[in-house]
Amino acid sequence: MTSATDDELAFRLELEGITKIYPSVIANEDVSLKVREGEIHAVLGENGAGKSTLMKMIYGVAKPDAGQMKWQGEVVHVENPAHARSLGIGMVFQHFSLFETLNVVENVALALPGNPDLKELAEQITEVSNRYGLPVDPQRLVHALSVGERQRVEIIRCLLQNPKLLIMDEPTSVLTPQAVRKLFDTLRQLAAEGCSILYISHKLDEIQELCHVATVLRDGKVTGDCIPSQETPKSMASLMIGKELPVPEHNAPVELGEVRLQLNGLSKKSDDPFGSNLQDIELEVRSGEILGIAGVSGNGQQELLYALSGEKPVAEADAVVICGKPSGRDLPDRRRRNGMGFVPEERLGRGAVPRMSLTENALLTAHNAGMLKHGMIQFDKIAQFARKCIEAYNVKCGGEEHAANSLSGGNLQKFIMGREILLAPKLLVVAQPTWGVDVGAAAFIRQALIDLRNEGTAILVISEELEELFEISDRIAVIANGRLSPAKKLADTNIDEIGVWMSGMWEQPAPAEVQAHA
């Protein structure tokens, strides 16, 4: 964007003294913010800094307790999201607002005015998804989509509304690097056409590359602003957290122990006709190592996670062996008893029950860790465990009795990760460990995983963030079209090679190589 004075470029959105207070926390305090036409404006801050709450007030999901909002120079009170959309404000939420029992085109239709023709709308969705490199089938049911695919639906739904202001809350958290490039091209084009964009992301390299200006929030207050192109990710992280960004210490594993997870020719047909069938997957993860699995969303990650967790058992017991015990037919509780911990990619619904308290959510997976006595729940112990998790992982919340859905996405992720890590499982399977988590907390979580590995836990991490996998993994493999590549030591590969493998292009190892690794 070329430089201009305030008079040369009109302000599309102005916030003045916005304050929002909840019973347990001040979410925003006296926040002022201005966004020009055609400007890509970043909002930076740690988890719980008030970014999402501020965006929800702009979009009409929440109402401010004080302050005012001006839209194109006029004071406006946004009553609800429909009112916001009528003004030309669109929002892509971090937590998806999709009906799982409806298909993609039906979900998109609900956000559009009138009664759109579904056949014509499906064609529009296909055209927009292809134009912006966000492929999605309009007829697929949402419950069958991966997290990354649901993210695409949210973005496409918003783009179809031709917004004047587009709010994006962690839009690239589960997109592939290629899709991120396409999205950036789209956002730059939208900005060039006059659309204003409010952009929230914890990926500071993206902020530096994409955004014209940035406003920094800390503890609900504006603490500064910057021009990202004149900063570094490290300096912006310091602005956010008020100190130097910690860097995880990842040394080579000292000594590998026993095999804690072994998959023997795991094959499973997907329940979703648009899903990926698992095809003859072989892998092993030993005590004291982290194996990372990369891949483009929708290539079998969801099916693999269901097979590993026990939510969808397989026919052959020895296709999944956990800590030496054939577990393919076992349900989740039996697998946990055998020593496995599990963090799914969906925080709300699978990782935590939204309306239950943090204490109750801790009980869901920690009940086998001394929280029961003669079948009776030891409420004092489970509350103590929940408090320990909140304190150790710096979870910003009103206390252990507050509901899971009262937390920001990043803070809930910290709680779920902390809950599983503090249980010190023999095997930990994690999907998207730092999705939506700020840079400081992401570094903390990654270090916690490395520390857990150093204590002898076998860890399998499935993530779409290549940089994350290269930061914490000892070996890395790729899943594509339901097939798993050979696993390589980090010293023997690089991001470029793994990127090629993500398209399914890898050479199968010779039988002698497989035998040598075994």
Domain count, the chain: 2
User: Residue 180 is part of which domain span?
Assistant: 11-241
218, 261: one domain: no
- Which of 7-16, 173-182, 250-259, 432-441 has the weakest average pLDDT? 173-182
Tabulate helix, strand, coil % of the chain (nearest 5). Answer: 35, 25, 40
Is 301 a member of any domain? yes
SS (H, E, C) 52-84: HHHHHHHHCCCCCCEEEEEECCEEECCCCHHHH
Tokens, residue 193: 């056409």
H/E stretch holding 418? helix 409-422
184, 303: one domain: no
Sheet bearing 213-218, strands edge to edge? 89-92, 165-169, 196-200, 40-44, 213-218, 221-226
Residue 516 confidence (pLDDT) above 60? no
226, 267: one domain: no
* Residues pairing with 483 in the sheet: 480
H/E stretch holding 178? helix 177-192
Q: Compute the mean pLDDT over every residue in the chain, rounded to the nearest whole number.
A: 88
- Of 241, 269, 299, the position where a domain reaches its end is 241
Residue 320 confidence (pLDDT) above 80? yes
What is the dihedral sign for C-alpha 185, 190, 194, 200? Answer: negative
Tokens 């002698």 correspond to what residue?
512
The pLDDT confidence band at residue 222, using thresholds 50, 70 and 90, is: very high
pLDDT tens digits, 432-466: 998 878 788 888 899 999 999 999 999 999 998 88
Of these ranges, 133-142, 150-159, 305-314, 397-406, the one predicted with the greatest mean pLDDT is 305-314
pTM for this structure?
0.70
46, 134: one domain: yes
Q: What is the pLDDT of residue 508?
A: 56
Q: Is 79 exposed, middle or buried (0-12, 13-18, 19+ CB in 10 A)?
A: exposed
User: What CATH number is given to the structural domain containing 214?
Assistant: 3.40.50.300
Is 355 a member of any domain? no
Q: What is the pLDDT of residue 175?
A: 67
Q: What's the gap between Cα 247 and its chain centre?
A: 20
According to DSSP, the β-strands at 259-268 and 89-92 are: unpaired
Question: Stretch 218-234: mean pLDDT, rounded?
Answer: 91
pLDDT tens digits, 118-156: 999 999 999 988 877 778 899 999 988 877 788 889 888
Provide the 3-class DSSP secondary structure of residue 41: strand
d(CA 454, CA 96): 35
The pLDDT confidence band at residue 403, using thresholds 50, 70 and 90, is: very high
Specify the higher pLDDT residue, 406 or 132: 406
pLDDT tens digits, 345-360: 888 888 999 999 999 9
- Of 208, 241, 274, the position where a domain reaches its end is 241
One DSSP character per residue, 112-176 reads SSS---HHHHHHHHHHHHHHTT----TTSBGGGS-HHHHHHHHHHHHHTT--SEEEEESTTTT--
Tokens, residue 181: 């490039």
Residue 1 confidence (pLDDT) above 70? no
* Residues pairing with 278 in the sheet: 268
Tokens, residue 482: 């339901």
The pLDDT confidence band at residue 249, using thresholds 50, 70 and 90, is: confident
Is 455 a member of any domain? yes
157, 269: one domain: no
318, 218: one domain: no
Is 461 a member of any domain? yes
24, 129: one domain: yes
Provide the 10 A C-beta neighbour count for residue 287.
21
pLDDT tens digits, 27-62: 999 999 999 999 999 999 888 889 989 999 999 999
Tokens, residue 151: 């993210």
225, 260: one domain: no
166, 304: one domain: no
Residue 321 confidence (pLDDT) above 80? yes
52, 141: one domain: yes
Residue 300 confidence (pLDDT) above 50? yes
